[in-house]
Chains A and B, each alone.
Chain A
Amino acid sequence: MRLGVKVRVSLRHLSSRPFQTISAVFVVALSSALAVMLFLLAQGLRDGLIRAVEPFDLIVGAKGSPYQIVLNTVLLQDVPVGNLKWSDYVSLREDPRVDISVPLAFGDNYRGCPVVGTAEDILRIRGGQPVQQWIDVAEGRWFDKEFEAVLGAQAALESGLLIGDTFRTSHGVVLGEEHDVSFEVVGVAARAFGPYDRAIFVSIESVWESHDHDDDDGEEEKDEGEVTAILVRPATYPDAYSLAVSFQHDTERQLVFPAQTAIRLFSLMGSGERFLSIIVYSVAACSLLTTLLVLYWSNRDRRRERALLYALGAPRGTLVTISWIEGTFTLAIGALIGELLGRAGVYAAFHLLGDATAIDLSAPMTIHEAVIPIIMLAAGSFGGFLIALSERTGDSASLKIR
């Protein structure tokens, strides 16, 4: 019998029992989708975080949790640990071991976009691929006086502000009480492929001034002359470690290697990921078992049909092939739908997460994501073959009328 005819017979068998077939495809698709989603989410978050951390060689911040400093400074999430004095920045700027130091002041926002008080030196920081200059101006110009603002690429989209527009910032990381002073948009930054795409850059003096202005009204505490964190690019690698040693016994400040902190974060995430993996593998194994049971019972149901084909002269190999195609086709369709569902789920999750954090989340197609669907397909196909083989006999007893 030609292969095309065997395939047609198999497909006809599958289509004649739509509930069984769809159930089997559904369980395989669901478990494959879960596996693909887990893999891609973990991979995408890891890669996105690595890209976000790349411009930050060292961060100097107030004593506290290094994770919180990374969350706050790199990802622009959570609240700052505390503030540093302006003199801390000045001393680092003049330290020969430091190539570039950039003051960063957080704590205000405009419609949820964080306001970052900083200095022009931020334009000298270089990011990784695909960005060479981390923060660059795409439209308009960089601010050169107080109360001028440059919008991050995402912030420009989210806020709807255009060059020449004015706006008022609010205190806090989300909404909050408006400051009295207005900022004018003078430029829009190019995409930085990270959380700083949601930032609104202003001079650090503007931050102080806006708080001062409020303070004049007696509504806010005075925090002039303070910075939240200092982004440091050391002159050389040994200088980075020398700086770390300098901060080792400091009781008010700390120096953080964001990459190391991120790695520790991954390792914490890894434990959860492993636990989730066990669940996903278990689900995949259960669905595989269910599918094989469906195939087994389907094969048993077809004993008489197989016996008829055998009596008509179909060799046993043909009967095994027809059963095997049925099983493999069911699994392959399930695995394919699972892969597509998994990818769709991940893109939806990335879209939501990306909008909220501006982490550049992407999941390039890799063979690793398909490991579970492929294992399921291979194991199921082999299992289906064994079932087909065990039921291969178009035994003559099945031809008798009972």
Chain B
Amino acid sequence: MNAFVTPFLEIKELRHDYRQPDGSYAQALRLDHLLAARGEALAVTGPSGSGKTTLLHILAALIRPTCGEVLFDGHDLFAAGHSAARWRSLSVGYVFQEMNLLPDFSVLENLLLAAEISSVPKSDAGERADSLLHRLDLWDHRYSRPSELSLGEQQRTAVARAVIHSPAVVLADEPTASLDAENAGVVMDLLMGLCAESQTLLIAATHDEAMKKRFERVVNLRRPVPAAVGPELVSSREVI
């Protein structure tokens, strides 16, 4: 538990409700407490509808939770004056399940555009993109459009894009769900290796048992129940 000496992420009493068409609210996520350190790799598991994606969206400040606190380095992510776009562009890398890349741009352009949004200086972005393309075996595909790539190559590109600006946290939403076992293994190895090297916190939502085993900690979310009873946090290997 040495990793928790300086907690990078702290979640307190987090809850998110969705408004339903009939006007009532449905609970989508409930997470009482979570601590995580830089460089950690954390898997979030649970059945469909248990709030895995909602949790990642909250951590990326794409949505504001109904209540609770999300602290990064002790600063509330949703405090007044905190820019969500700035947080995402500078500190977050996101990997989606599929259809992850901008279809009208080449592999290289997808990387450079992400770097541009994150205000990475042009020369640094070029060097970093070249290095990642070599490392992820995408160099020969750098001018290819996403539609010309296999699913595995697309996910490797998404991994490269997520880390090109050296973010503090990488959020991965079912990153291997569309891949076969071999490609899934390659993508996860690369993602975990890159995050570990740069002391980046990796939080990946997955329901794949084989993937879960790769993570040192797994957070299991349960499907929320109606009324005020929300999903309970169950940690399979670590108690938070």
Q: Identify the A interface with B (CB < 8 A).
A: 1-2, 5, 9, 12-13, 15-16, 304-305, 308-316, 318, 396, 399-401
Contacts and interface: CB of A to CB of B under 8 A. Distances in A.
A299 to B, nearest CB: 15
B100 interface: yes
Interface in B173-202: 173-174
A313 B92 CA distance: 8
Given A9-B113, A309-B102, A311-B96, 13 more contacts: A1-B116, A2-B116, A5-B116, A13-B104, A308-B96, A310-B62, A312-B94, A313-B85, A313-B88, A313-B92, A318-B117, A399-B62, A399-B96
A314 B89 contact: yes
A396 B62 contact: yes
Nearest to B118: A313
Contacts of A13: 104
Interface string B87-105: 1111010101111111111
Interface of B: 53, 57, 60, 62-63, 85-90, 92, 94, 96-105, 113-114, 116-118, 161, 173-174
B97 A401 contact: yes
A311 B114 CA distance: 10
Contacts of B105: 12
A401 B95 CA distance: 13
Contacts, number: 66
Nearest to B97: A401
Contact of A304 (B85, B99, B104, B161): B99
Nearest to A4: B116
Contacts of A308: 96, 100-102
Contacts of A399: 57, 62, 96, 173
A316 B102 contact: no
Contacts of B96: 308, 311, 399, 401
B85 A315 contact: yes
A165 B87 CA distance: 90
20 contacts: A2-B116, A5-B113, A9-B113, A305-B104, A308-B102, A309-B117, A310-B85, A311-B60, A311-B62, A312-B88, A312-B161, A314-B89, A314-B117, A315-B85, A316-B85, A318-B117, A399-B57, A399-B62, A401-B96, A401-B174
Contacts of B117: 1, 309, 312-314, 318
